[in-house]
Structure 1
Amino acid sequence: MTKHVDLIIKNGTVVLKDDVRRLDIAIHEGKIVQLGEKLGGAADQTVDADGLTVMAGMVDSHVHLNEPGLGDWEGFETGTAALVAGGCTTLIDMPLNGIPPTVSVSALERKLAAAEGKSRIDYALWGGLVPGKLHELEGLAAAGVTGFKAFMSSPGDPSEEAFREVDDHTLLEGMRILAGLGRVLALHAESEPIVSVLAEQAREAGKTSPADYAATRPVLAELEAVNRALFYAEQTGCALHFVHISSGEAIRLIQEARSRGMDVTTETCPHYLVLTERAFETVGAAAKCAPPLRDEAQQEALWELLADGAIDLIASDHSPCPAELKDKPDFFEAWGGIAGAQNSLELIVGEGHVKRGLPLPLLSRVLSLAPARRFGLHPRKGEIRIGADADLVLLDLEQTYRLQQEQLLHRHKHNPYIGRTMHCRVTGVYSRGRHVYDGAAGLLAAGGGNWLKHQRVD
């Protein structure tokens, strides 16, 4: 190498798309400009990554940052602090937890104003598909949203200004419009007719425990919604992405649809892979989510499907709230969402690679490359390659630690992983070549994240 560069990260074990190699990475003006063994030449800074694993930063496509309009809830500043400390370098923010939700161009502008100067990492934004707003889809797409999110069950907030679930007509017509716009529809797939009736029956009978809540959201409700959405998508040609799938049966349904030529992908989340319904006994509502945590058999099925390449990507579904909203005697009234932004990459690499031996390129694909490709961010994001943004995470695969509450950087420090032994540790993070997190020094740079408008998927 003869060109002068800004930074060389030397001697790391680098996780590439299909391989793991000991390489140096040369970075200039935020881009990876050279990969090779023992790169020479001049650099403003050299970092020795000997003994460390270097991966593409996580692209977390399912994050809820509750701005604008929700005051003491999570926002871009604290949410991205947690994300970057966990090795995430790009996020895609969901449209529902803000007032107003991102279901119009004017709401999108307010979301962008809230993010300006506060996000530590690059970010894209989802738009929303809700009843009464079909006319907004084209404008949101033109403005640059990544894709659109819809709920097939109630999001849980009954207030008038909140995000609402789709009825069947809105879902079908929304799919027709999005097919024409060439945008992906991300779906929360649980059947509202099933879960609402079961919940009403349980509460009328005085059944309000965590186990009672989980029983009202069975795998059957997930399967019914997935089947219905696939049928509508097959009629309309709409590209689908199923978020936070919790069961092996649903993954297999989606696989079958893809084998028929449908444009459909699926994600699961770290909590379904590392927690089971038993977590309710130890951490209570910190582990409440929808769909709920499942049993050990479902958890093992997800790991097997992940190893087989049947799960496209993993996202955190970071869904935080003020702590008092978790502290409810009636489990149905507790906020449903897991605050896991800071832990996703360490959990998946630690449990998946260190403990189970899954290949690092596979895990890097589901954490980084696949979401970047699916949502229009590749080739800039998601992969260690020449020409890509220098979004990198340095990991120590030999270092274990026990997660403590005071280590969490999101605003409200409830988390189902507190006290858990993590089997690897993030020691450094670079966003477009900027050193934004150090395992010893902590957060290094505020702001600096850019909005990533949608671009054509390669």
Structure 2
Amino acid sequence: MTYERVVQGRLVTPDEVFDGYLGIQNGTIAAISREPLDGELLDVRGQLVFPGGIDAHVHVSSSELYPEGWTRLSQCALAGGVTTVIDMPYDAPQPTVNADLFRAKVGRLRQESLTDAALYGTIRKRGGVPEIAGMAKAGASAFKFSTYETDAQRFPRIPNDELLPALRELGRLGLPAVFHAEDGEIIDALIEQLRPRGEESPRLHAQSRPPVSEMAAVAGLLELSRTVTAEGFPVKLHIAHLTVPQGFHLLEQYRALGVDVSAETCIHYLTLNEDDLSEQGAPLKCNPPLRPAAMQEALWAEVLAGRVAFITTDHAPWPPELKDKPNIFDNRSGMPGLETMLPLLYSEGVVRRDLKLTEFARLTASGPADRFGLAHRKGRVQIGLDADLTILDPQASYTVRAAESYSIAHHSPYEGRTLSGKITHTLLRGAEVFDGEQVKARPGFAQFLTPEFA
């Protein structure tokens, strides 16, 4: 058989790594072989062929005036080897809280995005539970909630008496419930205390959101989930951007009690710490905050032990004018990450810490695909799945330059850092969408992904 495209390189499959050939037909992986295949050849011998990256935590439209937007965000993604994103529902001015808003967002995605994408839904602070079923029918892959109130309408804290029926409904539907887990009572009191000193040091932001503010929220969510699971509504609980290493051990204890729970961490918690926050200031402000260097290394231990479900970016870029205030508390929270997540994880994880290549693929592709119902199409170098591929040259290096980024942030926390390994090609459904220098895809190439759970 002659295939539309054949990729020759070092293939990273779920179970092994070997020199071989991929045959691509009609946008899917049609053959995997150790022997040559016929077709138009992309010869990347010596380079690693990973499944296309999946970032399960991005923010496309967090601001009306300064949105990254689908086109820019997906350009960032493809340049970084990410072929699928899952977008948060906290759009400005109106979050995605009903089926009509959800369907309208799907329409924008299809018109403007270059990457394939799935979407979260969410609910209003009060009275939103009846809307969950409609968004699920429209194709939501998961629902996102917060235990911390950033904004009463756009990013509210959902009280526990609303969360319990929401968790029951999601348990009934079989969709994940994803949480921003921080305790507002602890944090808001500390912010009130520390804000007057906010010009002294950016590190005060980290002090205002200590590890206990995460752990208290996570523990409460685990108990709520254990309760509804025992009632016969086995909810899939997922903790977003967990920074506290001991949190992953607490999750293991609740798994033993029957709770279906997972947690991600973000690439910036593995590659930056409080010292960097002190040095760079507001551009590194994020929630939860960067942690001390010792916790950063302990978090790596959780990754290497296999207790982290996957790694995300929480890509939430802001232009310089929203990150230049002298008081750290007056700046927006969030930073860019889509173009650097995979190169950073390869350089810091595989090269420096001996992270296995198959684990790299799990953390960046199959892990989120499995959790959010996308494994029927995405996440693995496997026959029958979409031919989404990230090709990385382990012998090349890559120096981060914000001026070369597609993001509106015009800043990178890693400016000038030279990484081991460079992405040379990104393929989405068999098409080369990034050639190592430029994104080649155009708006409208994206497909909206709906979940299928085993």
**Shorter-chain TM-score category?**
over 0.9
Structure 1 Cα separation of the partners of residues 113 and 335 of structure 2:
21
**In angstroms, what is the RMSD of aligned CA positions?**
1.5
Per-residue CA deviations over 1:185-236 (Å, capped at 9, x if unaligned) read: 0001110111111111112566763111110100001110000000000011
C-alpha displacement of 1:247 = 1.0
2:397 corresponding residue in structure 1: 400
* Secondary structure in structure 2 of the residue aligned to 1:123: strand
For each residue in 1:43-100, what CA deviation from the matched residue of structure 2 results, as whole angstroms up to 9, or x when unmatched?
2x21101121100011110010017x72431000000000110000111000003331
Note the C-alpha offset of 1:423: 1.5
User: After alignment, is 166-175 or 84-93 more displaced?
Assistant: 166-175
Mean CA deviation greater in 250-259 or 346-355 = 250-259
Unpaired runs of at least 5, structure 2 = 230-234
Residues 429-438 or 419-428, more deviating: 419-428
Name the residue aligned to 1:85.
Answer: 79
Distance in structure 2 (CA, Å) of the matches to 1:296 and 1:123: 34
Counterpart contact for 2:365–2:380, Cα < 8 Å: yes
Give the distance between the partners of 1:74 and 1:205, measured in 2 at CA: 31
What residue number does 2:232 align with? none
**Structure 2 Cα separation of the partners of residues 182 and 129 of structure 1:** 17
Q: Hey, what does 2:423 align to over in structure 1?
A: 426
CA contact (8 A) 2:275 2:293 kept: no
Matches within 5 A, 1:115-154: 115-132=109-126, 133-154=128-149
Aligned: 1:377 with 2:377? no
Match of 2:100 in 1: 106
Moved more, 281-290 or 218-227: 281-290
Match of 1:334 among 331, 335, 340: 331
- What is the aligned partner in structure 1 of residue 258 from structure 2? 261
Distance in 1 separating the partners of 2:213 and 2:107: 38
Residue 95 of structure 2: SS of its match in structure 1?
coil
SS for the counterpart of 1:49 is: strand
For 1:117 and 1:207, the matched residues in 2 are separated by 43
Q: Is the contact made by 1:79 and 1:411 (CA closer than 8 Å) also made in structure 2?
A: no
Q: Is the 8 A contact 2:366 2:379 kept in 1?
A: yes
5+ residue gaps in structure 1? Answer: none
Q: Secondary structure at the match of 2:238?
A: strand
Identity of matched residues, %? 34
What SS is found at the alignment partner of 1:398? strand
Aligned partner of 2:164 in structure 1 is 172
In structure 1, distance between residues paired with 2:254 and 2:215: 13
- CA 400–205 in structure 1, closer or farther in 2 if over 3 Å, else same: closer
Preserved CA contact (<8 Å) 2:226 2:257: no
Alignment counterpart, residue 324 of structure 1, candidates 316, 321, 324: 321
User: What TM-score does the superposition give when structure 2 sets the normalisation length?
Assistant: 0.95
| 8 Å contact kept, 1:208–1:332 | no
Contact 2:116 2:448 in 1 (8 A): yes
Relative to the length of structure 1, the TM-score reads 0.95
> Could you tell me how far apart the structure 1 residues matched to 2:84 and 2:42 are?
22
Given the superposition, is the C-alpha separation of residues 38 and 150 from structure 1 closer, same or farther in structure 2, using an over 3 Å criterion? same
- Residue in structure 1 matching 2:69, options 44, 67, 75: 75
Corresponding residue for residue 441 of structure 2: 445
Q: 1:8 touches 1:26 (CA, 8 Å); kept in 2? A: yes
| Match for residue 4 of structure 1 among 2, 5, 12 | 2
* 2-structure distance, mates of 1:38, 1:407: 39
- Matching of residue 96 in structure 1 with residue 94 in structure 2: no
- C-alpha distance in 2, partners of 1:249/1:435? 41
Q: Tell me, yes or no, if the aligned pair for 2:222 and 2:254 is still in contact at 8 Å.
A: yes
The answer (yes or no) to whether the contact 1:130–1:165 under 8 Å persists in 2 is no
Quote how far apart the aligned CAs of 1:355 are. 1.4
Instruction: Provide the C-alpha distance between the structure 2 equivalents of 1:262 and 1:115, rounded to a whole number of angstroms.
Output: 34
Instruction: Give the distance between the partners of 1:285 and 1:295, measured in 2 at CA.
Output: 17
Superposed displacement of residue 262, structure 1: 1.1
SS in 2 for 1:116: helix
